[in-house]
Structure 1
Amino acid sequence: MNHKPKISVIIPTYNEENNIKKTLIAIERQKCDIPYEIIIADGQSSDNTVFIAKKSAKVYISPKKGKAFQLNYVIPKTSGELLIFLDADMIINPYFFQKIYKIFKNHQNLYACSARVKYHNGKAISFKLASQRFTITQYFFLNINIHLYYLLKTLLGFPELSGCNMIVRRDIFLKTGGFKSPPNSLGIDKVFSDSLIYLIRKMKKGKIKTLSFVSVLTSGRNLNIKRSLKRISQYFSKKDIYYELAKKIN
């Protein structure tokens, strides 16, 4: 694109050869008149991730592995006023960028958001009711419950962004001090969300939220009950560490 990108799409990768192509294809199919750039923050992949990604995006090899470090490493190399962080297995619809940009343009008080997350590629479950056949996916109820979780967090005044898709204004991101990595890298999205909350309270303006009417698709590959429980347990046992990380804002 000839114009300076207004949107920077940033994807952290590490051995994502089986996922990244689909994500990049979905991005290339965007029906969007807003200039954007695609940035890959790779953690020294040993497979074909970089080879595949270079066909569609600018690829930067991070000198250190880890999602938080990789993302922070490429930020100075981006130029968009709006930063869209996506995981490497995300599928977005053709109007995603256009919708997101319009939302931020029309709501200057919105500092950051996540789109509604829907899990796909699970097993289909079919059943018959009153002579009609219905099909739901394996993750049908999970999709509902996860969305309710994020909405409830917002209503209670403790909004949390979804780690697989986070959209934030560039100037706001820089004021948070970027991503911080908690112990074992569990809860990077939680710490970043809390940093945003601290910033909003400090500035006495702004908000973050989960969008109900804009969604993204992601695989169920990272659905791991054991890891989720470990993250929750670690958060409550090391709340002071999470707190100190989150409040380090500029």
Structure 2
Amino acid sequence: MDISVVIPAYNEEKYIEKCLKSLSRQDFKGNYEIIVSDGSSTDKTVKIARRYADQVIIDAKSTIAYGRQTGSLAAKYSILAYTDADTHIPSDWLSNIAASMSDEKVVGVHGKLLPLDGNRIEEDFCKYIIPPYSKFMVHINKPSVPGSNFAVRKWAFDRVGGFNTKLVTGEDVDICARIKKLGKFVYNPDALVYVSTRRVREWGYLKMISHYTSNTILTHTFGKPRTDYDAIR
């Protein structure tokens, strides 16, 4: 089993090196490639990415869905794994993804998130509240997938046409809602990714919870995620 890791990026010079360094230290025994899909950054993102990535694709500035789609189309391996530029990836991430995907009936998997730079409240929320919720949503076949930590089979990606590039948010849940119809979707808490809390710092708890709660309801109930998303750099 071989894996292509796709990372959309735009003006991420503060974070992307830590992400790419961690990805370069995976204990995964198969082949894997790192693809950075850059939306025409104006800072040093591309320069940094070229030190570590196997491919750096530069395209027009657009939605994050467009970035994920562009990177996915350039991938050469049978599993597409997704994360974001402001993450830190433990060395066993790809191995744990591969373990879940070893079951041929599984078409997708998502893992657990922990704060990279969070406080005790945020850490406890991610440890004790989010995992039961994620497990429940997968159990009822409505996976609430974090874009910074999921993977799908490339044949399934191709079958559904990939990401809806018009979406500004919720593109991760949207594509998995279509892919889950082709097989089994699972949650693997051992596939861990540490994520930046910069959005929490900028938005505050109320806005963060309100945005993602309403987005989940809109996506799973009506198939239409929110059309607003304030990007944080």
TM range (shorter): 0.7 to 0.9
Structure-2 separation of matches of 1:222 and 1:83: 25
TM-score, with length taken from structure 2: 0.84
Q: Separation in 2 of the partners of 1:219 and 1:188?
A: 19
Letter in 2 for 1:50: V
Partner Cα separation in structure 2 for residue 237 and residue 150 of structure 1: 17
Instruction: Give the superposition deviation at 1:102.
Output: 3.2
The answer for the alignment partner of 1:95 in structure 2 is: 92
TM-score under structure 1 normalisation? Answer: 0.79
2:147 aligned with 1:163: yes
Instruction: Report the CA distance shift for 1:226/1:104 in structure 2 as closer, same or farther (over 3 A).
Output: same
CA distance, structure 1, for counterparts of residue 87 and residue 165 of structure 2: 22
The Cα offsets for residues 201-245 of structure 1, whole Å up to 9 and x where unpaired, read as xxxxx21122123321112122344254245446767865629xx
1:25 to 21, 33, 44: 21
Shift of the 231–186 alpha-carbon distance from structure 1 to 2, 3 Å rule, reads farther
> Closer, same or farther in 2 for the Cα pair 1:233/1:181, shift >3 Å?
farther
1:189 aligns with 2:172: yes
1:120–1:83 distance in 2 versus 1, CA, 3 Å: same
Q: Distance in 1 between matches of 2:60 and 2:4?
A: 21
Matching of residues 115-126 of structure 1 within 5 Å:
115-123=111-119
Conserved 8 A contact 1:82-1:168: yes
Structure number with greater Rg is 1
**What residue is the counterpart of 1:127 in the other structure?**
none
* Structure 2 counterpart of 1:226: 207
Q: Which runs of 4+ in 1 moved over 3 A?
A: 230-241
**Paired amino acid for 2:49:** A
Whether 1:10 and 2:9 are equivalent positions in the alignment is no
CA-atom RMSD in angstroms: 2.3
Q: Look up the equivalent residue of 1:214 and give its one-letter code.
A: A
Q: How many residues align?
A: 218
Number of the residue aligned with 1:139: 122
- 8 Å CA contact 1:120–1:139 kept in 2: the answer is no
Which runs of 5 or more residues in structure 1 are unaligned?
A: 124-136, 201-205, 244-250
Query: Which residue number corresponds to residue 242 of structure 1?
Result: 224
Cα distance change of structure 1 residues 220 and 30 upon mapping to structure 2, 3 Å threshold? same
The match for 1:77 among 74, 79, 101 is: 74
Q: 2:49 aligns with which of 48, 53, 74?
A: 53
Q: Which amino acid is 2:125 matched to?
A: L
In 1: Cα distance, 2:6 partner to 2:109 partner: 15
Look up the match of 1:211. Answer: 188
Q: Distance between the aligned counterparts of 2:50 and 2:115, measured in 1?
A: 27
Alpha-carbon distance in 2 for matches of 1:33, 1:213: 17
Contact 1:87–1:164 (Cα < 8 Å) also in 2: yes
